[in-house]
Amino acid sequence: MFLLDEYDIFWTFLIISSLIPILAFFISGVFAPVCERPEKLSSYESGIEPMGNAWLQFRICYYMFALVFVVFDVETVFLYPWAMSFDVLGVSVFIEAFIFVLILIVGSVYTWKKGALEWS
């Protein structure tokens, strides 16, 4: 009626994939050494007490550079499947990809002109 026989491999995979993390945590809890020394409970395990405030402000250029890197990295991920199936897609998809790359070039020129890529 519901053909539950066809889902045997699914239920097997689901049970095994649920048991592996549970067993890993259980085995780790049983066999891991527990020694709570003051050095182990401190912020850093090196034994040196931290000095000063942990809150540090970073310059905005680090964030901008990371953001630009992430944007171009994601763009590469979007262009890779298109490049792999370029011969089957046709002219319309080529035009769409060309517009996408053109938008990327305009964005990179904009970030370059705004000085987001400068470290000074």
Confidence (pLDDT) at 108? 83
Tell whether 72 and 110 lie within a shared domain. yes
Q: Over the stretch 13-26, which tens digit does the pLDDT of each residue have? A: 999 999 999 999 99
Residue type, 7: Y
3-31 burial, b at 16+ Cβ within 10 Å, e below that, comes to: eeeeeeeeeeeeeeeeeeeeeeeeeeeee
Number of domains in the chain: 2
Confidence (pLDDT) at 13? 92
d(CA 110, CA 65): 14
Determine if the pTM surpasses 0.85.
Answer: no
Q: Over the stretch 28-48, which tens digit does the pLDDT of each residue have? A: 988 887 777 776 666 665 656
Tell whether 108 and 70 lie within a shared domain. yes
Domain membership of residue 48 (yes or no) is: no
Domain membership of residue 103 (yes or no) is: yes
Average pLDDT, the chain: 80
Domain membership of residue 27 (yes or no) is: yes
Structural domain for 30, as ranges: 4-41
Q: Quick one: what percent of the chain has pLDDT higher than 90? A: 14
Tell whether 70 and 107 lie within a shared domain. yes
